[in-house]
Chains A and B, each alone.
Chain A
């Protein structure tokens, strides 16, 4: 009896130790990937900032900008949701947080939505729920290049211009710190921009070439592309942060479990020795 349970405990200690090794290695890998993803993420912020500023400059300084990208140009019927999740699991509540929020938004929408899924987890969920997924991208997000995000943003923009969709909403995880991430919902189109009356018109005339309209028409899609790109990069950063946390917890749990099991093992061993001694002593007594 005692012998077989000791064997069992020993086997469990061994398997938990193996798991601990794996989670620990994954933690280190995620920490390294997180560091790399974070530098890319910080750089994209810079670019985005300049583009938004240029758009605002144009908006504040000229009257003849095309209306099609601006808020209030048409009624909002069909909404396109861009849901950014990860392609791999084992990252705590990272994916379920995004999916939960996306699901709530989509359920609140009376019209049938279109979904652009980035990441395997989100696609699988919405496919199972029976929504139309108009496009999907399954590339591992950490190595995505700006050129590749074209494939995501161009169809969405074309649909918007053609009037197939009237609103573009993106749901992704934003990076607050290594320990904290928050799910964020942003509306990409129509473009919400208000004429800021506090901003003085620029003191000098700005030449736009070929024309103000064309520059604006170039900038707005660019803005959408960059927003999508930076959201993917940010989401990848969060994924690594979340995975690192999850793996750290797992390693800690495994260590606790090993400590508990070792205690049980020692107790069982002691109990076995004690009962053996009792048997010998009582055997010797019987012989007297």
Chain B
């Protein structure tokens, strides 16, 4: 059995998760990356995406939708994120609507007449919505 490590997931509003885990896979800016106990110390920025957690002694993964933040890998793992949700907390209808809204907005606004910030924001909204829908449906990434 692999070694386990303490993981804390903190959002500004609450402590989202705390527990012993074997493997945690967040999406960093460069792509999905898995961390296990005794990883080199690191501090990596995260992107909007799915977060997969394999708890100690469990075969299945827990999935959550998170948005931004960073992961701090020391003897303990800590994830700070602006926003985190379990699949059962996600309102799929709302996510779909906000995704469509962002997509619609991006289609009607070209790069020339809008500032970069707004476009970036719409992109983030869109990817948030996709993540939420994916997580609610059991995760987009294929299970092992």
Judge if A17 is at the interface, Cβ distance under 8 Å.
no
Instruction: Report yes or no: B12 in contact with A44, Cβ–Cβ below 8 A.
Output: yes
Q: Report chain A residues within 8 Å CB of B11.
A: 47, 146
Instruction: Report yes or no: B10 in contact with A47, Cβ–Cβ below 8 A.
Output: yes
Judge if A283 is at the interface, Cβ distance under 8 Å.
no
Which of A43, A51, A204, A210 contacts B15 (CB under 8 A)? A43
> Once bound together, how far apart are the Cα atoms of A78 and B12, in whole Å?
30
B100 CB to nearest chain A CB (Å): 19
Which of B13, B44, B45 contacts A145 (CB under 8 A)? B13
Judge if A198 is at the interface, Cβ distance under 8 Å.
no
> Once bound together, how far apart are the Cα atoms of A230 and B82, in whole Å?
14
Q: Report chain A residues within 8 Å CB of B52.
A: none
B115 CB to nearest chain A CB (Å): 11
Task: Annotate B1-23 by CB proximity to A: 1 below 8 A, 0 otherwise.
Answer: 00000000011111100000000
Q: Report chain B residues within 8 Å CB of A285.
A: none
Judge if A202 is at the interface, Cβ distance under 8 Å.
yes
Instruction: Report yes or no: A207 in contact with B42, Cβ–Cβ below 8 A.
Output: yes
Residues of chain A in range 22-81 having any CB-CB distance to chain B below 8 Å: 40, 43-44, 46-47, 50-51, 54, 57-58
Instruction: Report yes or no: A206 in contact with B13, Cβ–Cβ below 8 A.
Output: no
> Once bound together, how far apart are the Cα atoms of A145 and B67, in whole Å?
15
Q: Report chain B residues within 8 Å CB of A219.
A: 70
Q: A205-B40, A210-B30 are in contact. Are A215 and B15 (CB under 8 A)?
A: no
Beyond A54-B72, A207-B43, 5 additional contacts (C-beta under 8 Å) are A46-B15, A50-B10, A54-B70, A207-B44, A209-B44
**28 CB < 8 A contacts A-B:** A40-B13, A43-B15, A44-B12, A47-B12, A47-B80, A50-B80, A51-B80, A54-B43, A54-B70, A54-B72, A146-B11, A146-B12, A146-B83, A147-B83, A202-B41, A204-B40, A205-B41, A206-B42, A207-B41, A208-B42, A208-B43, A208-B44, A209-B29, A209-B30, A209-B44, A210-B30, A214-B45, A226-B12
Chain A contact residues, CB within 8 Å of chain B: 40, 43-44, 46-47, 50-51, 54, 57-58, 145-147, 202, 204-210, 214-215, 218-219, 226, 229-230
